[in-house]
Structure 1
């Protein structure tokens, strides 16, 4: 055993020397004892955004948490290098957050896809899941037991560790909180290489730091996810609006009914394309043919989407519940549609949209997305700002907008929410997702893409300064931009970084902390000089 460890460390030393050399010697797969480090791959240097492409020097395909621990332990104990490490799940980031220029990318999907269930009788049920497992895999397995996680993302082909490193939100968030509010325990490999099991009662500061921590403090290798009884069917409803105030008021009405409503989202209908693309997964005949006006005088519409779970053993009546709820709403006359689908099909609805886009070559294109958390008091102004900076007639993609409730979020985690301000109803805030696509084959090449990114920077900057909005899945190009993003939370974030990843090895693609060597500046390691 000692000989194997010595061989592994010698091999790692060779790796580090090669990475620090001006010449890159990693040209073929390299066997580092129990570690298998491979040359850079196309997938490791790109992501869903297709905006930044940063090639790592090597890719680690771990078979256990110990593989990751060995790598980080060696890097944190060496003063010869400034090599960084990024954990990559499904690669669904937008701005290279899971990339590591000339560093090492850890492919989390290489971990064994382990899912172990505990089904309590009148007690808590949960699943212990490895960090590289996708949510779709957990759903498929848990449904066999009549169980499912409570909180989801819209798209299920993402890894458990990846979404927990951000927050994980969808239409259930108003009711159950984000995914990070539904975790009982984590196994984490810190930037020091320590394997730690943590929870709200054990090593709670690491637990809270890692949840929403953008991969800065440790790599999530296992998570204990809270489960609930899964419904058999879902009553899926859409209602259309031509007035923004009515749209917002009805969304807030719906999230005030958690005993009746299980899911609430909404989106802006800008043109015929957005109406059609948003209807691909909705298996009902939507007889809505609005007048979108003209290019110079566009007319905008809105759609609320909500769902009611149907538990057959509880004698629920989805149709009756829809009638009770819709009688209190102010949607356009005759523009309410409902359909019953299986729980699995409802949760996996975005997959249908993905397959449609793949079939016409519009999936692997640029995705200059922007996601914002907006205080309730500023949502009307944000809508106006948004409309001032997009062209409804040629917008490609979807704009989501729906309410969240602050008291479903744990302030001890690393997620940054906007201040509530002086709003009379500070409990409500909104998430707005500008999920646009930019296809190079349709003329949106480099210049066009940069123009779209510039518009998004303007929206984010203006909304932040005027409305107190904060980016979700944030991207800032400078450490000072990150300090402004975190605001009064920056000191705690930097202190946690100094404790759990003092050499700043992890998460280089986020651009929050420049990497330090072992003889790096002590004050910088504690976050006081990151500007």
Structure 2
């Protein structure tokens, strides 16, 4: 099995690329990082501990680490660690503590607002730690740098599947477990963080700690959905379930928002679809609304009439069947085409209480131009009881709606980006006043005081965990949660 998440490049090959730019010491008062050539010429500093991988400072590595899918924030680190082992991560975290540096893990770089960037610090590139250790009947053990696409491929070969997929599966396991990981199957299984059985975590003091619901529970509870603040996930044990063979996809088109949300609430209540989402799309006369429901199965196809019974009559119905993995992988080609174009993506992602969803979304759409979106708008419900991780903050509502306005600015225009970020900020403030929270993967400027309000009753837990597990405050500063 190939160790690296980079196509055609194994870990040894990846490390060899940066060999010429590897650093051996750090001088905080003068040169910064010192290369072997500089050391040979007499430069001195605090020696970098021996590594199985490499710490590099070449322009290509630093430039890559200073960007993400959002193309909005460009905080340049001082160095990039390409770890050859978990020990490397421990050593660099300890080195960072001793030398006043910050660190963050970057997986596939799919953040949109600099969340995994570290200005003048060290970015840990998890792509060199991407091994699938085992896939069994009920669990899989993987490194944090493994992509969900690779895990689904390996799991399906064993006849099993992770229960929940994000819409785009080219993300790293460690990345989505740090934020939550939501998808259409969340209606049945919760977020991806709700399917985790155990973790291995490097804390902000460089300690490697195993944790689960029965071992070091206090760390387990804050790392899942903890936005990289309390520890860096390096390995995960995930629940898997028997895999279906086929996805039967139902797309029900509505002309009214309330028909869409009524249909979604009915489908959510009885769990008729294995996967339940929805979209808002521009039409010639305004906005159209689509319920997207999927029935997973093996063998005989489900009965359409039974699955659609009791839902508001749609204006149009489209039904198609795809192999299960083809359905999961449906967005990969599109994202692969868009990423090289480097369009800014100032996304807005909110969790809305059920009672205010229809009114809030209608008001937002009334002031929203399709030109100010550029990408899809997602809207779909999940049951609050399925979301079990304490630091994934969601409204106090039995049903919670995810609203994602996945803005794309094409062609890039800084003034437009700034205006849309300001719009995100205003929409967020209005939503919070109605009891909403953010799903923190978007581009919304938020102050530390607002983060405290975001966590609410869980904020004291977050503060205690930060003081205990990251006492030097070196982990993941790009989230800007703690002052």
Q: What TM-score, normalized to structure 2? A: 0.88
Indicate the SS of the match to 1:349.
coil
In the aligned structure 2, how far is the partner of 1:456 from the partner of 1:367? 12
- Matching residue of 1:525: none
Indicate the SS of the match to 1:472.
coil
Indicate the SS of the match to 1:302.
strand
- Matching residue of 1:418: 395
Query: What are the within-5 Å matches in structure 2 for residues 131-146 of structure 1?
Result: 131-146=144-159
In the aligned structure 1, how far is the partner of 2:36 from the partner of 2:167? 38
- Matching residue of 1:58: 79
In the aligned structure 2, how far is the partner of 1:191 from the partner of 1:467? 33
- Matching residue of 1:406: 384
Residues 1:114 and 2:132 aligned together: yes
Q: CA deviation at 1:394?
A: 5.9
Q: CA deviation at 1:388?
A: 3.8
- Matching residue of 1:296: none
- Matching residue of 2:282: 270
Q: 1:370 aligns with which of 330, 344, 348?
A: 348
Query: What are the within-5 Å matches in structure 2 for residues 200-349 of structure 1?
Result: 200-258=213-271, 260-271=272-283, 292-293=284-285, 299-312=286-299, 316-318=300-302, 320=303, 322-333=304-315, 335-349=316-330
- Matching residue of 1:289: none
Q: 2:332 aligns with which of 351, 358, 373?
A: 351
In the aligned structure 1, how far is the partner of 2:473 from the partner of 2:209? 18
Indicate the SS of the match to 2:258.
helix
Q: 2:113 aligns with which of 73, 95, 98?
A: 95
CA-to-aligned-CA distance 1:142-199 (integer Å, 9 cap, x gap): 1111111001111111100100000000000010110001010101011111111110
Indicate the SS of the match to 1:301.
strand
Q: What TM-score, normalized to structure 1? A: 0.80
2:161 touches 2:240 (CA, 8 Å); kept in 1? Answer: yes
Q: 1:33 aligns with which of 50, 72, 96?
A: 50
Q: CA deviation at 1:390?
A: 1.6
2:23 touches 2:56 (CA, 8 Å); kept in 1? Answer: no
Gaps of 5+ in 2: 1-21, 40-47
CA-to-aligned-CA distance 1:327-370 (integer Å, 9 cap, x gap): 3211334x111011100000011113324546xx7x52100001
Distance 1:24 1:74, change over 3 A: closer
Q: When the two structures are aligned, how many residues end up with a matched partner?
A: 448
In the aligned structure 2, how far is the partner of 1:232 from the partner of 1:471? 31
Indicate the SS of the match to 2:376.
strand
In the aligned structure 2, how far is the partner of 1:418 from the partner of 1:82? 37
Q: 1:68 aligns with which of 89, 96, 104?
A: 89
Cα RMSD, aligned residues only: 2.1
In the aligned structure 1, how far is the partner of 2:34 from the partner of 2:446? 29
